[in-house]
Amino acid sequence: VLLAQSRLKEAEAYLQESLDICQQIYPAEHAQIANSNRNMGALFLHQGKLVDAEKQMRKALELNRGIHGTDHPKSVMSVHDLASVLKEQGKLTEAEPLFIEVLNWRKRRLGPDHGNTLNAMNSLVSLYLKQKDLSKADPIVFEAVEIGRGKGSNQKELVLAIANLGDFYQHSNKFVEAEPLLQEAVELGREILGPDSLAVMRYLNNLAQFYSRQKRIAEAEPLFLEAIELSKRLAGPTDK
């Protein structure tokens, strides 16, 4: 709740206290400590403290693997967490095999059409788009949208799959195909994620940049302004 309200200093103090207590009352290798490390890592990631986030996610992964083994859902979740932090740091070569490991595990254990499998596909596609490696993204990005639409539209992973496909077409210079997907990501994002979502802000900005590159300034400007206003709301009140 504190994180959602952007009260980040309070959240950090609370989570640090929680971690300290866990380390005092539990053995060194305990699931609750791993969970506390993960929560701290998620907060640091949200704050942009990526070095600290990586440190906490590595601790959580080490603990979960020691407690549960490598083939347990919590260990796989920790692999995905670490890969996500590495991707944000730009350590794409290090993140890629981790995302692939998660995707293969989820396909094998959960099935190809499971929501968590779609999440792993989206994560891997996002990495390939960041690398501008369209040949690797190509088979997965279309499959992700197909799976997402097949499961029904009321889910956040479908929105990301659509946004990824729009970006894929942009990178491929297929602007006619990209535009309706980028528009759909904004509209569906508002509906599913809510109007005050960080993801929606990104989708607004992506669409605005798409129009701007095509010199369609009249269409880009209100989207840029809306994204700026949303950014201010998400940041919360500033100290005076």
The one-letter amino acid code at 65 reads R
- Indicate the DSSP class of residue 154: -
Tokens standing for residue 132: 């501008």
pLDDT given for residue 238 in this prediction: 55
Cα separation values, 203 from 140, 160, 228, Å: 20, 9, 12
C-alpha–C-alpha distance, residues 228 and 180, integer Å: 22
C-alpha–C-alpha distance, residues 216 and 235, integer Å: 29
Task: Show the CA angle centred on residue 65, arms to residues 61 and 69, nearest 5°.
Answer: 155
C-alpha–C-alpha distance, residues 173 and 5, integer Å: 39
Give this prediction's pTM. 0.85
Residue carrying the six token digits 């080490």: 62
Q: Are 79 and 61 in contact (CB under 8 A)?
A: yes
User: How many Cα atoms are found within 13 Å in the side-chain-facing hemisphere of 127?
Assistant: 27
pLDDT given for residue 90 in this prediction: 96
pLDDT given for residue 240 in this prediction: 44
C-alpha–C-alpha distance, residues 8 and 47, integer Å: 8
- Residues in the chain with pLDDT < 70? 1-8, 14, 16, 27, 152-154, 236-240
